[in-house]
Each structure stands twice: as structure tokens, then as C-alpha cells.
């Protein structure tokens, strides 16, 4: 958690700091991101930075928590509203991807988190983060399996992992198709004007159909 001095800053300054920090980690992995770059852009001394955050790890985990909370606001009511697993997945994938595309810096940062490799500094923090996400999906899977809405002869852990990876796959597919990875485009550019909303929904629907029904030819 940030130090109390950070929360004592005016809201506008806090948001400016978070935006610059998100941009740094959105364009680089954890090891490559630089506190020096951040303080230079914020016109801060390193001593000033460490008055707000204990260290780089403290900053990174706060960005992760803040970004996850922002995205969850987009989908927090979906689980209670749908009785159909496929419809729920479509809307969940769609809303999350829409959030990421409307908030490209935060979206790319959260995407990078899922690709983060081993870091001695972070330790098992990323394993715990992925575990927490998978547990949320697992509870959703379990509730639908109990109702007989989805098959219950496959491990809930496996289904949850496949759902998680499918969501990443949809986002990666769209970014790749439209050439919107940060090494090719300015990460602050809003990609929604380049990806038609219809295309997002059609892609989400296609991925979800494969997830639910496999690759067998459609019948009827």
C-alpha cells in the first residue's frame, strides 16, 4: 500500500502520478520499468517518490489493485444477472475487453501482468494474483455446475483456467489483428476508434462458441 503521504496529495496529483506509473509499466515488464523514468516525467526527486511508495514493488502492487478495481466496476453485476453460462461469458469477455480498449494504458498494464515472468523482487506475488483471479472464475464455474448448466465431469480448476486463457486470447487476437501492441502504437491512443464494436462482439462470440461447443461442425 502507498504511504499516507500519497493519499494526502490532492486527487488531481494522485491521478497524474498513477497515470504516469501505469504508462511506464504498460510499455515495459516489471524488470524493465524504471523509477528513474517515472520521477523524471513527474518532475520528482527519487527521495520524493519514496515518500509516497516504499519501493517499486509497493507501487506495482498498488497499480495492480487499482487497475483491477477499475475493471471490476465494469463487470461486477454480471454474475448475478445471468442464468446462461455462455451468455455470461460473452458479456463478461465483451465488457472486460471494452474496458481495456477504452482504458488502453490500464488495459495493457493488466495484460502485461498476466505475462509477467519470474522476478526475484516480486517473488510469488504474481502467482497469488493469478490464483485469486482463477478462484473467482472457479466459484462462477462451480455455481453453474451445481445448477446443471455446465458439465461437472471436468475439474473446476481446469475449466476456470481455460476460461481465463480464453479471455486473454480474445484480447490478444484483437490487438494483433489491428496492430495495436504498444511497440507499434502509442499506448495512450484509444484503440476503440480503430476496432469496430461489432468486430469485438463477433470475436468474443466466436471464441466463446469454441470454448463451449468445441470445434465440431454446427448442426441444425
Q: What is the pLDDT of residues 95-139, one digit of tens each?
A: 888 888 888 899 889 888 887 877 788 887 778 888 888 998 998
Residue 119's pLDDT is: 77
The position carrying cell 480503430 is 194
Give yes or no for a contact between 122 and 30, defined as CB atoms under 8 angstroms apart. yes
Element holding 188 (H helix, E strand)? none
pLDDT for 182 beyond 60: no
State which of 2-16, 73-87, 141-155 shows the largest mean pLDDT.
2-16
Indicate whether this model's pTM tops 0.75. yes
* Residue 93 to residues 40, 104, 168, 220, Cα–Cα distance (Å): 37, 16, 9, 27
pLDDT band at residue 189 using 50, 70 and 90 as cut-offs:
low
Average pLDDT of the chain? 86
Find the mean pLDDT for residues 67-90.
81
Amino acid at each position: 500500500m502507498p504511504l499516507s503521504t500519497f493519499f494526502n496529495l490532492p486527487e488531481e496529483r494522485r491521478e497524474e502520478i498513477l497515470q504516469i506509473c501505469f504508462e511506464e509499466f504498460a510499455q515495459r515488464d516489471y524488470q524493465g520499468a524504471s523509477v528513474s523514468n517515472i520521477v523524471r516525467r513527474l518532475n520528482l526527486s527519487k527521495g520524493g517518490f519514496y515518500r509516497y511508495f516504499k519501493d517499486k514493488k509497493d507501487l506495482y502492487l498498488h497499480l495492480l489493485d487499482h487497475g483491477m478495481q477499475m475493471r471490476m466496476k465494469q463487470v461486477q453485476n454480471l454474475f448475478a444477472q445471468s442464468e446462461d453460462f455462455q451468455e455470461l461469458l460473452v458479456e463478461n469477455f465483451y465488457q472486460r475487453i471494452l474496458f481495456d480498449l477504452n482504458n488502453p494504458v490500464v488495459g495493457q498494464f493488466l495484460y502485461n501482468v498476466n505475462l509477467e515472468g519470474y522476478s526475484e523482487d516480486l517473488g510469488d506475488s504474481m502467482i497469488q494474483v493469478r490464483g485469486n483471479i482463477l478462484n473467482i472464475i472457479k466459484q462462477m464455474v462451480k455455481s453453474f455446475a451445481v445448477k446443471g448448466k455446465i458439465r461437472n465431469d471436468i475439474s473446476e480448476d481446469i475449466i476456470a483456467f481455460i476460461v481465463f486463457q480464453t479471455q486473454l486470447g480474445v484480447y490478444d487476437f484483437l490487438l494483433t489483428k489491428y496492430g495495436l501492441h504498444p511497440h507499434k502504437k502509442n499506448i495512450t491512443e484509444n484503440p476503440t476508434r480503430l476496432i469496430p464494436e461489432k468486430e469485438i462482439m463477433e470475436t468474443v462470440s466466436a471464441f466463446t462458441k469454441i470454448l463451449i461447443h468445441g470445434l465440431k461442425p454446427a448442426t441444425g
